[in-house]
Structure 1
Amino acid sequence: MKKIWLLMLLVSLLIACSAKTEKISTAFYFWRTTFSLTQTEQQYLKDLDVKKLYIRYFDVALQNNEAIPVAPVVFNQKPSGYNIVPVVYIKNEVFLQNGAADSLALKVYNYIQQINKSADVSVNEIQFDCDWSLKSKKNYFQFIEDFKKLHPNLSATIRLHQIKYPEKTGIPSVKTGVLMYYNMGVINAGDDNSIYSQKTAKNYINSLQNYNLPLNVALPVFSWGVHVRSNQVTNLIGGLRVNDLKGDQFEKTRENRFKVVKDIVFKGRYLAKDDEIKIEAVSADQLKEMMHDIKKNSKHKPNEIIFYDLNENNLKAYEKEDFKTVSRW
C-alpha cells in the first residue's frame, strides 16, 4: 500500500512539473549571403522541429546620399518546407539623411518581391532590423507606416536600450518585436564579453514588464575572436571558437584568451608574435540563464525563440538538447 501511495505521489509530481513548462517554437536567423543548407544544418532543423527561418535578404545603406540595397542573398537552394521571413537590415544612417520614407518603402518592397520571385517563395511576414536613434526615429517610423500600406504584417528588432527608454526612443508600429538579447557591450581588449553580460542585461531587463509591444526573443549562438595587438583591438575574426586555437601557434593564457607564439597567417589574417586572441561566445548554461531572467521579468510568454545564427559550426557548439531546454517556458 505504501509503495502504491509513493508511486502515485511520484506520478503527481511529474505531471505537476511538466505542466509548469511549455515549449516555445524555435526558429533561426540565416545571415549568410548565399542560401544553402548543409546536411548537418538540415538535420538539426529537423530534429529541433524548426518550421521558420528568418533570412537576411539584404542591407540598406547610403551611397552618394542615396539608399541602396547591399549584399543581397542568393538562393542556391530553395527553402522548401520552411516558413520564410525576409529580414532587411537598414543602417541608421539611411534615416538620418533620407526623409523620403514613402519612396524608400516602395523600393525596398519591390526588391523583396524580386528576391521572393527568384527563390519561388511567398511570405507572410517581413522584418526590419534597424538600431534607430532619437534623430532617426521619425523617418524610420514613417518608413514603417508607409511600408504597412504595401505589406501590413511587419515585425521589428528591438534593442535593450529601446526597452528601457520607450518614452524617448518610441515603439515602432509593428505587430511583433524581437528582443535582440545580445551585443550588450563595447568590443574591447579587456576581459568583458561584449556579446553577453548578465550584469549589463539586469540594468534593462526589468523594463520588459512595461514594454507595450508583444515580443519574441533572439538569443546568440554565434562567436568571434577579438584580435588584440598592444592592448588595442585590431579587428574581429568571425566564427572563431576556443577549439580553433589548439595548435602550437597559440599559447593559452586564460580560459578564453590566447597569445600568438610566432608570426603567422591565420584564416587569411596576419597575426604577429605576442598578439592576443580573445574568444567571445555564449555557453549553453548562459543561454539558460538568459531565458530564466527573461521569464522572471516578462508578463507574457514569447511565441518564438530565434537563435542567431544558423551555421553548422554554431550548431555543433551545443547539444541539441540545449536548444530544446532553452526553448521551454
Structure 2
Amino acid sequence: MKKIWLLMLLVTLLAACSTKTEKINTAFYFWRTTFSLTETEQQYLKNLEVKKLYIRYFDVGLQNNEAIPVAPIVFNVKPLGYSVVPVVYIKNEVFLQNEAADSLAVKVYSYIQQINKSVNVSVNEIQFDCDWSLKSKQNYFQFLEEFKKLHPNLSATIRLHQIKYPDKTGIPDVDKGVLMYYNMGVINAGEDNSIYSQKIARNYINSLKNYNLPLNIALPVFSWGVHIRNNQVTNLIGGLRVNDLTEGQFEKITENRFKVVKDVVFKGRYLAKDDEIKIEAVSAEQLKEMMHDIKKNSKHKPNEIIFYDLNENNLKAYEKEDFKTVSRW
C-alpha cells in the first residue's frame, strides 16, 4: 500500500513539473498622442504588475523631401512609476531618401531628449519602429549605427517576413528586437482577418529559431472595423468592436459582419444603407494560440510580452486572467 502511495505521489509530482510555467514580464505599447491613464487602465496595469511602458513619442515622415517629426506626444501627466521606452515610428519613405544618417540621428535624438526633459523622464532604452524595405535597408541600418553613438541601448521592431528572409532583409544591429505578431494579411472585403491568421503565421514562424537576434514578442489586443461599400474597402474605423454595433442601425450577417440598415453618421463617418462593417479583432483563445506557436518554434524564452496597445476599450475586451495566462511560458 505504501509503495502504491509513493508511486501516486511521484506521478503527481512529475505531472506538476511537466506543466510548470514561468511568468514573463508584461508591458504595453501606448500609442495615443496624449499621455494620460484612465482609472481602469491604471487598475489593469497594477493587477498585471506592469513596470514598463513603450510610449510612442512621435513619427518621422517627409515634408518637402525633408524628414520632420509628426504628431508628437503631449504628456498631460507624468508616467510616474513606470520605466519608459520612447518609440519612434519612422516611415520607410524617409530612408528611401538619401538624407545623411548622422544628421538625421542627431535630429531624432535631440527631439527625444526635449520630450524627456519636458516630463523629467530618464530613459535607458529607445526603440525604432520601421518596416524597412530592400531599397531602404542600407540607409536605415546606417541610421541605427549613427544613433548608437548617441544612445547605445537600442531595440527595433521586426516583422514576420524579416524573420523568414534575414539574408535578404538583413538584421538590424541593435540589442534586441520585438516581433510584431500581427497585421499579417491584406485588409479586404472578404472574410479574412488581416490582424491575425494562424495559417499565414505558420508560413513564417518556423524560421524563428534561426533568427540571430534576441526577441521579445508584441501581441495584438486592438480591433477595428472595415467599412465596405459595393464589396470594396473604403476605410477603417479604429477601435470598433462587435458590441459597438447596436441593433436598429446595423443588421447582423455573421458573428463579425454587419449591414447598415439606413443612412447614418456613425463615429463621425457617413455610412450608407447596405454598407457593411467587418469587425477584425483577436480573441483571448487566439492570443493563447499565438503564444503556443511562438513557444513551439523559439529557441529562447522572451523577456517580455508587450501588448499593443494600452487603451481602456482594448483592456475591457479581455479578462485580467487572459493577460496573465498569455504571459506565461
**Common topology (TM > 0.5):** yes
4+ long deviations beyond 4 Å: 1-7
1:48-87 correspondence runs (5 A): 48-87=48-87
1:83-102 correspondence runs (5 A): 83-102=83-102
Number of aligned pairs?
328
The structural deviation recorded for 1:209 is: 1.0
Question: Distance in 2 between the 1:258 and 1:222 partners?
Answer: 19
Question: Distance in 1 between the 2:80 and 2:25 partners?
Answer: 19
- What are the Cα deviations for residues 70-122 of structure 1, in whole angstroms up to 9, with x where unaligned? 00000001100100000000000000013311000000000000000111110
Identical aligned pairs, as a percentage?
85
The structural deviation recorded for 1:6 is: 7.7
Q: What is the CA RMSD across the aligned residues, in angstroms?
A: 1.3
CA contact (8 A) 1:67 1:98 kept: no
Alignment-derived partner of residue 279 in structure 2: 279
The structural deviation recorded for 1:60 is: 0.1
TM-score normalized with structure 1 length: 0.97
Question: Distance in 2 between the 1:73 and 1:301 partners?
Answer: 32
Output the amino acid matched with 2:144.
I
Alignment-derived partner of residue 16 in structure 1: 17
Alignment-derived partner of residue 293 in structure 1: 293
The structural deviation recorded for 1:13 is: 4.4
Question: Distance in 1 between the 2:7 and 2:31 partners?
Answer: 52
Moved more, 20-29 or 273-282: 20-29
Question: Distance in 1 between the 2:175 and 2:252 partners?
Answer: 47
- What are the Cα deviations for residues 247-267 of structure 1, in whole angstroms up to 9, with x where unaligned? 311000001000000000000
The structural deviation recorded for 1:15 is: 3.7
- What are the Cα deviations for residues 183-228 of structure 1, in whole angstroms up to 9, with x where unaligned? 0011000000000000000110001011110000000000000000
Question: Distance in 1 between the 2:244 and 2:72 partners?
Answer: 30
- What are the Cα deviations for residues 124-149 of structure 1, in whole angstroms up to 9, with x where unaligned? 00000000000000000000000000
Alignment-derived partner of residue 234 in structure 1: 234
Output the amino acid matched with 1:268.
G
Alignment-derived partner of residue 189 in structure 1: 189
SS at match of 1:173: coil
The structural deviation recorded for 1:309 is: 0.1
The structural deviation recorded for 1:317 is: 0.2
What stretches of structure 2 of length at least 5 have no aligned partner? Answer: none
What stretches of structure 1 of length at least 5 have no aligned partner? Answer: none
Question: Distance in 1 between the 2:82 and 2:28 partners?
Answer: 11
Question: Distance in 1 between the 2:191 and 2:275 partners?
Answer: 15
Alignment-derived partner of residue 248 in structure 2: 248
TM-score normalized with structure 2 length: 0.97
Output the amino acid matched with 1:112.
I
The structural deviation recorded for 1:7 is: 7.0
Alignment-derived partner of residue 211 in structure 2: 211
Alignment-derived partner of residue 119 in structure 1: 119
Alignment-derived partner of residue 156 in structure 2: 156
SS at match of 1:60: strand
CA contact (8 A) 1:251 1:261 kept: yes
Output the amino acid matched with 2:77.
Q
The structural deviation recorded for 1:11 is: 5.1
Question: Distance in 1 between the 2:18 and 2:325 partners?
Answer: 14
Question: Distance in 1 between the 2:234 and 2:154 partners?
Answer: 38
